[in-house]
Structure 1
Amino acid sequence: MTPSLQAQVSPEEWQLRLDLAAAYRLVALYGWSDLVFTHISARIPGPEHHFLINPYGMMFDEITASSLVKIDQDCNKLSDSPFPVNPAGFTIHSAVHAVREDAGCVLHTHTRAGVGVSAQQGGVLPISQQSTFVLASLAYHAYEGVAFREDEKPRLQADLGDKNFLMLRNHGLLTVGRTIADAFLNMYIFETTCQIQLAAQSGGVPLTEVNPQIVQGVAHAMKVQTGGMGGAFVWPALIRKLDRTDTGWRA
């Protein structure tokens, strides 16, 4: 058991640690994890570019608020931690955080549905209500191999632009959120979109596409659905769901 850091960090950082640990546990609960090989990063409030990320080598359903590692933009550990971090894994995240001041959280997955759709030339198809939310803010980035080279960052940043959904071709899905709750809700919609698409395609019949004008008005529809709260609308319910399963993440 990792000793609690609650008394050693600010209340703001502790709350961020709780939310990020919850996000890792929820990703595991929903079956989106890939053993230990993806990451969720969250920026700590303040002028410094400091972040929290998972201790490399731990399963997502093992992560706690205190086991999260604090790092800088170059993935150097900023506090004593017995856990390693994965610089290669933070390459994508650091690229996003560096150019998106609104990126409080970056969430990346390698799910079968996400990778499957990322390999399709047509990418995300406008065939479901969920897909309209994704298509309203979707970008693509071509596969360049395992993402550990610094020279890939400018191309990824240019491809992402101001979008909140990024399909990494032949690789997986990435979402950006102002908060951890926003990034998680975005990933839930993104992952569901891909699952629906593969299910629809498996029927072997022509698909009906959504009118493009509907996509143009989807931002307003999302505000109506969440009362203008975004991910914060569903986050308390997700925390209750998680606590019914296990409260160990709060340590």
Structure 2
Amino acid sequence: MSLGGSASATPRRAPDEHEIRKDLAAAYRVMALKGMDDSIYTHISARLPDGEAGQKRFLLNPFGMMFDEVTAENLVTVDEAGVIIDDPYGHGVNAAGFTIHSAVHMARHDAACVLHTHTVAGVAVSSVKEGLLPLNQWSAQFHGAIAYHEYEGIALDLEERARIVADLGALNVLMLRNHGTLVCGRSVAEAVKLALNLERSCKAQVAALSMGLTPDPLPDDVAAHTAQQYARAYDRTEASDSDAEWAAILRLIERSAPA
């Protein structure tokens, strides 16, 4: 099962470039607000409509900017070969960021947004062999829906893209072992919500296992049922032009971290 994905789900109205830029800038700001950034590193990318010549394009943060500095106007437009199409800030993009994000965008055209983080909790869970455990309702939504990719060093080798894509497969959540997490969304909103839910699942696991008591994972059938419930809810939202949670997140950004 691919979390939040369904081949039969009807997509929402396709957003235009202005809307994608606004949503992506908001995604950067909410990640910063939630403490899920890592200095000037890690990335969130979004697919743009094809260019006039049919080239595939996506947006990435300007290298050297903190997440809370990213705006709709200073995002960098890159094609899938790594060619910079538009760079308002003038500092290009991070090479490792291009490697990971271009790999997914080239292979997964359903992935409108790819969100990669290095959080303490996410890195901690990525550093244990068991990965994320179905310890509670939050983490149960990811049951059977997480892929794992072995650490190969800082992602500068373009040949690693094929292995990232192969490990991710049709899933939307990838645990980069000893490194961090990556999620894909059919919209920027979906990617952000998945990332927030994954982060609190990792935090809860770190907290639970630090208590010195006996972990009590959910039975497989209960975890699988819960995962299906979450997946159906994501499908319904993506098939609609109404997303109450994303609207609430945008209001939070407007109050707490306006551009």
Task: Give the match's secondary structure for 2:181.
Answer: strand
TM-score when normalising by structure 2: 0.87
Q: Which has the higher helix share?
A: 1
Task: Give the match's secondary structure for 2:45.
Answer: strand
Kindly tell me: are residues 201 and 103 of structure 1, through their superposed partners in 2, closer, same or farther at Cα, counting changes over 3 Å?
same
Q: 2:130 aligns with which of 103, 119, 122?
A: 122
Q: Is the 8 A contact 1:50 1:70 kept in 2?
A: yes
Using the TM superposition, give the Cα deviation of residue 138 of structure 1 relative to its aligned residue in structure 2, in angstroms. Answer: 0.6
Q: Is the 8 A contact 1:136 1:218 kept in 2?
A: no
Q: Is the 8 A contact 2:43 2:61 kept in 1?
A: yes
In 2, Cα distance between the equivalents of 1:136 and 1:235?
A: 25
Residue-by-residue CA offset, 1:113-154 (whole Å, 9 max, x unaligned):
000011111111111111111123110000000001011111
Q: Is the 8 A contact 2:121 2:199 kept in 1?
A: yes
Aligned to 1:25: 29
Aligned to 1:89: 97
Aligned to 1:155: 163
Kindly tell me: are residues 110 and 24 of structure 1, through their superposed partners in 2, closer, same or farther at Cα, counting changes over 3 Å?
same
Using the TM superposition, give the Cα deviation of residue 101 of structure 1 relative to its aligned residue in structure 2, in angstroms. Answer: 1.1
Higher relative contact order (CA 8 A, sep 6+): 2
Is 1:73 aligned to residue 80 of structure 2?
yes
Q: Is the 8 A contact 1:223 1:229 kept in 2?
A: no
TM-score when normalising by structure 1: 0.90
List alignment gaps of at least 5 residues for structure 1: 1-10
Aligned to 2:57: 50
What do you get for the CA RMSD once the two structures are aligned? 1.7
Aligned to 1:244: 255
Q: 1:174 aligns with which of 164, 170, 182?
A: 182
Task: Give the match's secondary structure for 1:159.
Answer: helix
List alignment gaps of at least 5 residues for structure 2: 1-14
Task: Give the match's secondary structure for 1:90.
Answer: helix
Kindly tell me: are residues 226 and 155 of structure 1, through their superposed partners in 2, closer, same or farther at Cα, counting changes over 3 Å?
closer
Task: Give the match's secondary structure for 2:46.
Answer: strand
- Counterpart residue identity of residue 49, structure 1: K
Q: 1:60 aligns with which of 61, 67, 78?
A: 67
Q: Is the 8 A contact 2:62 2:91 kept in 1?
A: yes
Percent pairwise identity: 45
Aligned to 1:3: none
Moved more, 88-97 or 216-225: 216-225
In 2, Cα distance between the equivalents of 1:206 and 1:88?
A: 39
